[in-house]
Structure formats: C-alpha cells, structure tokens
Amino acid sequence: MKFILIATALNLQLTYPDENICNVALDAVQKKDAEAFCIPAPVDHVEELAEKMQGLMIIHKKMADMIAEENKKQVDNHNEKP
C-alpha cells in the first residue's frame, strides 16, 4: 500500500511505495516541520484495473504467439509430407 507524506509548513505532499520509506522521509522532514505525518494513500482503482488489464493483454499475446507458432509447425509438417 502506498503512503503519503504531508508536511503543510513545507507545502509537501509526496507519495511513497510503502509506510517504511514514508517514515524514513518523515524523520528528515520533521526537523523542519514537526507537524508532518504519513497517511495511507487512497487506492486508485482505475490505475489498479489498468495494470491488471495490461497483465492480461501480455498473457493473451503470449498465448496467441504460441498458437500461431504451433499452427505454423502443423502447416509446415503437412506441406513436407509426400
């Protein structure tokens, strides 16, 4: 889950890939803004869906390529027979 570091005194709102990294950044930022904090980032369902769709498209392409290769082998074998 992604986390957002918010430091209003510094006008910062940065997104980090996880809570541990956000907390490391928070330690550095709190020297300048004691009120800074990390919160879970909202889940972007559109982005999540797009990533899943892209993964499915990659799998589909691999399967189509495998089928095309198998079909080519069968045609080649058929053409080689007397």
Rounded distance between C-alpha atoms, residue 16 and residue 69, angstroms: 43
Report pLDDT digits (tens) over 5-45: 788 888 878 898 889 999 999 998 888 889 999 999 887 77
Do residues 5 and 14 touch, judged by C-beta distance below 8 A? Answer: yes
Rounded distance between C-alpha atoms, residue 82 and residue 80, angstroms: 6
Return the H-helix or E-strand segment holding 60. helix 45-80
Report pLDDT digits (tens) over 57-68: 999 999 999 999
CA-based end-to-end distance of the chain:
62
Rounded distance between C-alpha atoms, residue 56 and residue 72, angstroms: 24
